[in-house]
């Protein structure tokens, strides 16, 4: 099999990223489109359903955090082993990744089924909205086995330098979701209308299709039983910064939802619609986060520190250029973006103000999100985790509560202030890292 990582230590960084990024960006574009289309059809079905999607969003983020984060752990270790020329060991970690993915899915499915009613009732006073949350949430969480397996096998393929198969899987899964959404939500040709449950079924069906496509090339032989626990522990350790980073999104969005719920359900819906559009505009940034991890891990294992720095710099510049497009859209056409999903004038009024504040935060958000990924790739898990904690625990929710005391409009100032402060902390950590004895790897975990 051709070694697609062979040039990662010598080829120009921009060429590597521009070769790796387009398939990832296309896959994420399709994902973003079907997330938007999902909300589009649910919004046409009922306003309660649209609010329910905003409420269940943090739970979905937690599920994705665990699935993708463990996959990133596999990806990081495999890239380091391949960089050191240890392909057999890399494949062993890939095999254990599948076992770990199944275990994590089973645990998450059980817990989410049990806590979903309490979560729904905590998040809204509306019995109708709570019922929609329980129906949608239980389906997408309990039947998420496709998401967990696809996340693992995709990261295995990306560690090998194969970005095309995951792209094809994402496109196929999204196509299935988009096709089934209107059919199951509204009913068609004898198929009964199932409402928001239909949207959930379409989502898990798309995930299952994507998993089947990456299974053939991503599934690797599980090594002997005596190393499974050790390998699983290593995968969790390397994936933990990403899991924490993504999980923290769950808790800060939940916190922001609860703060906005003190104003109105429409404020919660406006925040949820922002996150739907955010998925679309964050494609370049998400692609950079995905692509730089194996490249930096590979070069760090070879002690090519200058190439690690160049990879970071190139990805940040690329992110700034493309995120500027998102900033302009959020500043200039917020009302039009909101009307894609809802005609509720109160939601549009709240969202129009909020979108403009949030749009300003996009440029500093590039560095606040890429620095943690850089530290994760070089094994500096503590720095990566601290940046995540600073952004989501120390800043986002406390600042959101503080600014909300001055009124709903002031609440939205939380976003730009948080991203600027997090970026400054990231620069501080990065400068300290470069002054350390990083070349020998002695301080890589510091």
What Å distances lie between residue 228 and 84, 94, 224, 393, CA to CA? Answer: 21, 11, 7, 33
Q: Which two tokens stand for residue 181?
A: 């959404």
Minimal CA–CA distance to 97: which of 59, 66, 122? Answer: 66
Of 383 and 246, more confident: 383
pLDDT of 4: 53
186: pLDDT strictly greater than 90 = no
CA–CA gap between residue 376 and residue 387 (Å, rounded): 11
In the chain, domain spans: 13-440
CA–CA gap between residue 236 and residue 244 (Å, rounded): 11
Q: Which two tokens stand for residue 172?
A: 């196929």
Mean pLDDT, to the nearest integer, of 207-216? Answer: 89
Mean pLDDT, to the nearest integer, of 204-216? Answer: 90
261: pLDDT strictly greater than 60 = yes
269: pLDDT strictly greater than 80 = yes
Lowest mean pLDDT among 231-240, 268-277, 340-349: 231-240
Return the number of other C-beta atoms located less than 10 Å from residue 246's C-beta.
21
Mean pLDDT, to the nearest integer, of 342-355? Answer: 89
Q: Which two tokens stand for residue 98?
A: 């599948």
Lowest mean pLDDT among 187-191, 241-245, 256-260, 289-293: 241-245
**With bands split at pLDDT 50, 70 and 90, how would you rate the model's confidence at 35?**
low
Q: Which two tokens stand for residue 29?
A: 């574009």
CA–CA gap between residue 169 and residue 27 (Å, rounded): 8
pTM for this structure? 0.66
**With bands split at pLDDT 50, 70 and 90, how would you rate the model's confidence at 31?**
low
Per-residue pLDDT of 374-431, as tens digits, reads 887 887 778 887 888 888 888 988 999 999 999 999 999 999 999 999 999 999 988 8
Minimal CA–CA distance to 41: which of 181, 136, 176, 177? Answer: 181
Q: What is the DSSP letter of 444?
A: T
Per-residue pLDDT of 273-323, as tens digits, reads 888 888 778 777 777 777 787 788 777 877 777 888 888 888 888 888 888
């Amino acid at each position: 099999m051709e070694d697609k990582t062979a040039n990662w230590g010598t080829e120009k960084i921009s060429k590597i990223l521009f070769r790796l990024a387009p398939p990832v960006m296309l896959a994420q574009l399709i994902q973003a489109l079907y997330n938007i289309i999902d909300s589009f059809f649910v919004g046409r079905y009922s306003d309660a359903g649209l609010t329910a999607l905003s409420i269940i969003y943090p739970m979905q983020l937690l599920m994705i955090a665990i699935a993708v984060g463990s996959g990133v752990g596999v990806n990081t270790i495999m890239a380091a082993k391949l960089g050191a020329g240890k392909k057999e060991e890399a494949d062993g970690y890939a095999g254990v990744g599948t076992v770990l993915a199944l275990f994590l899915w089973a645990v998450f499915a059980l817990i989410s089924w049990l806590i979903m009613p309490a979560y729904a009732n905590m998040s809204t006073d509306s019995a109708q909205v709570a019922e929609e949350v329980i129906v949608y949430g239980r389906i997408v969480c309990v039947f998420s086995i496709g998401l967990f397996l696809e996340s693992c096998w995709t990261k295995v393929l990306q560690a090998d330098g194969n970005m095309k198969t995951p792209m094809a899987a994402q496109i196929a899964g999204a196509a299935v979701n988009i096709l089934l959404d209107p059919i199951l939500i509204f009913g068609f040709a004898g198929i009964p209308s199932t409402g928001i449950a239909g949207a959930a079924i379409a989502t898990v069906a798309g995930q299952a299709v994507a998993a089947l496509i990456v299974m053939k090339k991503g599934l690797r032989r599980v090594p002997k039983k005596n190393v499974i626990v050790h390998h699983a522990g290593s995968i969790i350790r390397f994936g933990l910064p990403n899991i924490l980073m993504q999980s923290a999104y769950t808790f800060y969005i939940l916190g922001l939802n609860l703060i906005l719920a003190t104003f109105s359900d429409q404020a919660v819906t406006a925040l949820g619609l922002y996150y739907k559009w955010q998925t679309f505009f964050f494609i370049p940034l998400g692609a950079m986060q995905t692509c730089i991890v194996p490249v930096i891990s590979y070069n760090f294992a070879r002690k090519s520190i200058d190439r690690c720095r160049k990879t970071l710099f190139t990805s940040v510049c690329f992110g700034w250029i493309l995120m500027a497009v998102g900033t302009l859209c959020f500043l200039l056409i917020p009302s039009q973006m909101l009307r894609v999903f809802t005609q509720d004038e109160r939601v549009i009024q709240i969202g129009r103000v909020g979108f403009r504040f949030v749009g300003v935060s996009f440029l500093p958000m590039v560095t606040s999100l890429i620095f943690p990924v850089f530290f994760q790739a070089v094994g500096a898990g503590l720095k990566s985790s601290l940046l995540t904690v600073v952004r989501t625990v120390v800043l986002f929710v406390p600042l959101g509560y503080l600014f909300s005391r001055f009124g709903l409009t002031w609440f939205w100032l939380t976003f730009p202030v948080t991203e600027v402060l997090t970026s400054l902390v990231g620069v501080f950590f990065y400068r300290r890292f470069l002054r350390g004895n990083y070349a020998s790897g002695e301080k890589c975990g510091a």
